Structure 1
Amino acid sequence: MPTRRSFLKCMLGVGAGLLPWYGWPELLKKPKAVPTFIDTSELMKKTAHNLPQTDTPYLNRTAMEDISFFVHPELQGRRSGTAGEEKAAAYLIDQMKGLGLEPLGDLVDNQNRNYLNVFTVYPVVEEFYKGRLTFRPGNSNDLRTPSANVIGGLIGTNSQESVILSAHYDHLGIFNGNLYPGANDNASGVGCILDVMRRLIKERIKPNRNVILAFWGAEEMGFVGSYSFIQKPTFLLNGIHAVFNVDTIGNGPLKEFALWANSDNRALQAVRAAAENKANAVLTPSNGYNSDQVFFNLDHVPAVTLMARDWLLKNHTPEDVPDFINPKKIALASDILYNALQSLIV
């Protein structure tokens, strides 16, 4: 997650410009059709009661298997705008398809959508800040690079409202010959929310509100993916009941978690209630750091980020590897998030 407030302010102007796409496949190109909001009432007719079969292998995957895929050397640290990030996005699309989730990204034509919500990012320059590799803005006149959010959902039975489960899936890439695998930051968050959705489907829960998985791109470059979505959403922002964001969740003492939010909103309240008697989940000052809940909060959408209390340990270093993660903590975070989600969708 980025550190500097100046970087955050600079990235406020990032848009989804129509530029050439060099590394991403054809499906990642910006659609020619003008994006319009999704009418979830129409989607509801064909998806609300069509949960996937419980014996699909996609439901038997685990968060640690997701993490293992995301840290594989072939993904080269998942830096935004690279082939490694593209491979990570392809994995997420495959998981969403396998779970039977409705694509909620950009329009492909006047009637159909894909799972991708594309945008572009400014160039960045690497630098070390307090021992952590971070990005600062580069030359804004240089060619932007493509990135994408990956968005899909389980459509509710009788509601236009949605609850979002989100996590950023990018990381830092390779710098000075060192791979930054980003197991905890933030493959752990990706695995956590996939596990929540798998459990929801396994238990045959038919939600009232839509349950949407949103994997944000380019978080490390200034929360660019989530900001881009808010600027050009694919479904109405005022229909978002809550956002549960998960970032860097898998390290430190088992029952110690931190929460980031700018107010005591319903998303934060739901997580705290779900954690009661299971763990300590405390609203914590961000101290100049932040995650993808930030722009939702600024837009008055109830949102919270759940994270490990000691998230800074080994963060943005080559030592952020799977062995650093406690699988029991991922499971506990998933259980807390699942219970928080259930309190808002049934």
Structure 2
Amino acid sequence: MRLAILAACLTLELAGQSPQSLRLRADLEFLCSDALAGRVSLSHEAEITARYIAADFQRSGLAPGAGGSYLQEFPLVAYRTDSGKRALRMIRAGVRKEWTPGADFTGAFSRDVRIGPSPVVFAGFGITAPEYGYDDYAGIEAKGKIVLIFDHEPKEDDPRAVFNGTGHTLHAGRTTKVANARRHGALAVLVASEPVRSHRGLLEPTPGGTTQGQPLRANAPPQSLDDDSQIPVFSISDEALAELLAQPADRQRAIEAGLRPQSADLPDTRIELASGNAEMHRGVSLNVAGLLEGSDPVLKSETVLITAHYDHLGTQNGKVYAGANDNASGTVAVMELARMFAASGQRPKRSLLFVVFGSEEQLMLGSFYYTAHPLRPLAGTRAVLNLDMIGRDEAHIPQSEGVLKIPADTSNELNLVGAMYSADLLKVIQEENRGAGLVLDTKFDRDHSLNALFRCDHLPFLAEGIPAVWLFGGFHPGYHEPSDTVEKLNFPKFEKVIRLTYAAAAKVADGAKPPKFGVEPAPR
């Protein structure tokens, strides 16, 4: 009798739900189950998740997207810093100043390193932006030196600023700045918050950093791509900056007054730095890729990517961080989109590559590896539609209060992040939204406090000059918390986002002219 009652209740609960909703819920319940323990990077449960997605791609009729496999392996290094092996010293006029880890500087590095004493060069905001006629490295030599830079961008709270007004460009991101320093031959980078600043909230995460006070890497050690070309990066305090650089606020104001660099060597100044690890081991993470080859003999060599990430934060203090919205929602959406395209019987002219990345919570390691080792040529990659956190209604978190205007009802709203880099792709999404009926918002492309531009898997593609938009339901209470569970998802909205993504991807894949990459601000 009890089983009969339970079956009847289940039938009533499922009555009226669409077949798509039932498929989505079934996949979500598995990905968010205790058995997968939060899908943390480099865990056995993360590998099970990747193989589950791969099997679904195969059942849907997609071809293997990684050569003869659905899985693209990428090497990682997991490490725990030994605080006793971390050191940062300034030597000036023969006098050594020892700074204190945690108070004066923070940071971790995947290898044991010892650098210096080395000369130091101040490189302003660390930006080389030919499109804006600005280069902090013009007139200085960074090779063989430690580079000191400010975080963020000049005049970021000025709506008239060249660097996208109150929004960010890619040049504000720490990944971009460090890569620029590395190209200029720097040994290491010291990053200081700009002395005159207005930003607050969710600052861009760094290795070992946190978001909303929650560990980005759960209980697992920090992870990095196994790449010997990386250089150490330390964040330094305002007090350490003032000791290193005379009148830093005046230098910032001078840069911003005429958008002219104030870069210079720091005379008679040397820096010693060291970083060492108490624990270090190598492992392999997985991207999952399935291919639907295009129908046009010529255009099938070009690619439209539909992407998400499957990993989350694991288990902490005995509680499973299920990550239903972040990002089981995007994962099952990509799986469903693969089924829809494969079952349609009509292949678009360009090829579609469905990729679900691993290790996103470790600062987009899977997607950065993909752009360094693409499965389809980047030169022929025409657009990326990235799905992450698409199933919840947006609501204020402490960091967004006073920063963003969020409507009282967001049950039908969807944010588009990175749309400022392709007016063409934005136009396609807006036009195809007529069938989905969502309310679209580009507000995160005009914000410099929550740093959404740098927080998801669209970023590595934008850095390569590829139109890429993150479809994002917005932050919400319970973000990166155990309370991000399936029952809190808004399924009608969820299905609309899938419908919109299908239509937009089909339009780009079949369109005569692919979207162009540009830097014009998104329409307001």
How far apart, CA to CA, are the structure 1 residues paired with 2:500 and 2:421?
20
Say whether the 8 Å CA contact 1:124–1:221 is kept in structure 2: no
Quickly say closer, same or farther: Cα 1:327–1:273, change in 2 above 3 A: same
Instruction: Work out the CA distance in 2 between the residues paired with 1:70 and 1:313.
Output: 21
| Aligned twin of 2:332 | 191
State the Cα distance separating 1:64 from its structure 2 match: 1.8
C-alpha displacement of 1:259: 1.0
2:72 matches 1:117? yes
1:293 to 448, 453, 458: 458
Q: Shift of the alpha carbon at 1:60?
A: 9.9
1:133/1:97 CA distance change after superposition, 3 Å: same
Q: Does 1:341 align with 2:505?
A: yes
Alpha-carbon deviations, 1:74-100, whole Å to 9, x = none? 111100100110110111111011011
Give yes or no for contact 1:265–1:303 (8 Å, CA) kept in 2: no
Deviation (angstroms), 1:63? 1.8
Q: Which of the residues 320, 335, 346 maps onto 1:205? A: 346
Aligned residue for 1:63, secondary structure, equals helix
Moved more, 138-147 or 113-122: 138-147
Q: What is the SS of the residue equivalent to 1:143?
A: strand
For the residue of structure 1 that corresponds to 2:307, the secondary structure is strand
CA contact (8 A) 2:314 2:322 kept: yes
Percent identical residues: 27
Separation (CA, whole Å) in 1 of partners of 2:428 and 2:38: 33
Q: SS of 2:501's equivalent?
A: helix
| Structure 1 residue 254: Cα displacement | 2.5
Q: Distance in 2 between matches of 1:179 and 1:200?
A: 33
Give the match for residue 145 of structure 1: 283
Q: CA deviation at 1:332?
A: 0.7
Note if 1:132 corresponds to 2:273: no
1:280 is aligned to 439
Distance 1:238 1:265 in 2: 19
State the one-letter code of the partner of 2:78: P
Task: Indicate how the Cα distance of structure 1 residues 124 and 221 shifts in structure 2: closer, same or farther if over 3 A, else same.
Answer: farther
Deviates more, 1:191-200 or 1:209-218: 191-200
Task: Give the TM-score, by structure 2 length.
Answer: 0.51
User: TM-score, normalization: structure 1?
Assistant: 0.76
Deviations 1:22-41 (A, max 9, x none): xxxxxxxxxxxxxxxxxxxx
Query: Secondary structure of 2:37's partner?
Result: helix
RMSD, aligned α-carbons:
2.3
The verdict on how the C-alpha distance between 1:325 and 1:258 changes in structure 2, with shifts beyond 3 A counting, is same
Cα distance in 2 for partners of 1:324, 1:133 equals 22
Work out which of the residue numbers 447, 469, 490 in structure 2 matches 1:304: 469
> Which of 85, 91, 95 is the aligned partner of 2:52?
91
User: How far apart in 1 are the matches of 2:498 and 2:79?
Assistant: 33
Shifted more, 268-277 versus 200-209: the winner is 268-277
Contact residue 169 and residue 187 of structure 1 kept, 8 A: yes
AA aligned opposite 1:134: L
Unaligned runs of 5+ in 2: 1-18, 81-207, 224-275, 394-409, 511-524
Return the alpha-carbon distance in structure 2 between the equivalents of residues 264 and 73 of structure 1. Answer: 40
User: Is the alpha carbon distance of 1:129 and 1:334 closer, same or farther for their aligned partners in structure 2, counting shifts above 3 Å?
Assistant: closer
Match of 1:157 among 295, 303, 310: 295
CA drift of 1:194 comes to 1.9
Distance 2:73 2:438 in 1: 37
Kept in 1, the 8 Å contact 2:324–2:485? The answer is yes
Assess, with a 3 A threshold, how the Cα gap between structure 1 residues 241 and 129 changes in structure 2: closer, same or farther.
closer
Query: Secondary structure at 2:374's aligned position in 1?
Result: coil
| Distance across 2 between alignment mates of 1:193 and 1:96 | 10
Letter in 1 for 2:290: G
In structure 1, C-alpha distance between the alignment counterparts of 2:494 and 2:352, rounded to whole Å? 20
Q: Which amino acid is the alignment partner of residue 333 of structure 2?
A: C
**Paired residues, what number?**
282
Listed as ranges, the gaps of 5+ residues in structure 1 are: 1-57, 108-112
Instruction: Give me the whole-angstrom Cα distance separating, in 2, the residues matched to 1:248 and 1:60.
Output: 17
Whole-Å separation in 2 of the counterparts to 1:296 and 1:128: 24
Distance of aligned partners of 1:265 and 1:229 in 2 relative to their CA distance in 1, 3 Å threshold? farther
Aligned to 1:264: 422
CA change 1:131–1:60 in 2 (3 A) is closer
Can you list the C-alpha shifts for 1:101-150, whole angstroms capped at 9, x where unaligned?
Answer: 11111x4xxxxx11111112332677754243323846667112210100
Residue among 296, 303, 308 paired with 1:167: 308
Q: In structure 2, what residue type is equivalent to 1:163?
A: V
> Are the counterparts in 2 of residues 314 and 320 from structure 1 also a CA contact under 8 Å?
yes
Which residue in 2 is equivalent to 1:249?
Answer: 390
Are 2:74 and 2:285, in contact at CA under 8 Å, matched by a contact in 1? yes
Match in the other structure for 1:80? 41
For 1:122 and 1:249, the matched residues in 2 are separated by 30
Structure 1 residues 65 and 268, CA gap change in structure 2 (3 angstroms):
farther
* Amino acid in the other structure paired with 1:268: L
What does residue range 39-78 of structure 1 map to in structure 2 within 5 Å?
Answer: 62-78=23-39
1:205-244 residue pairs with structure 2 within 5 A?
Answer: 205-244=346-385
Q: Give, in whole Å, the separation in 2 of the partners of 1:61 and 1:297.
A: 34
Alpha-carbon spacing, 1:153–1:265, altered in 2? closer, same or farther (3 Å): farther
* Kept after mapping to 2: 8 A contact 1:63/1:330: no
What letter corresponds to residue 213 of structure 1 in structure 2? Answer: F
Change (3 A) 1:165 1:325: same
Aligned to 2:421, the other structure's residue is in SS state coil
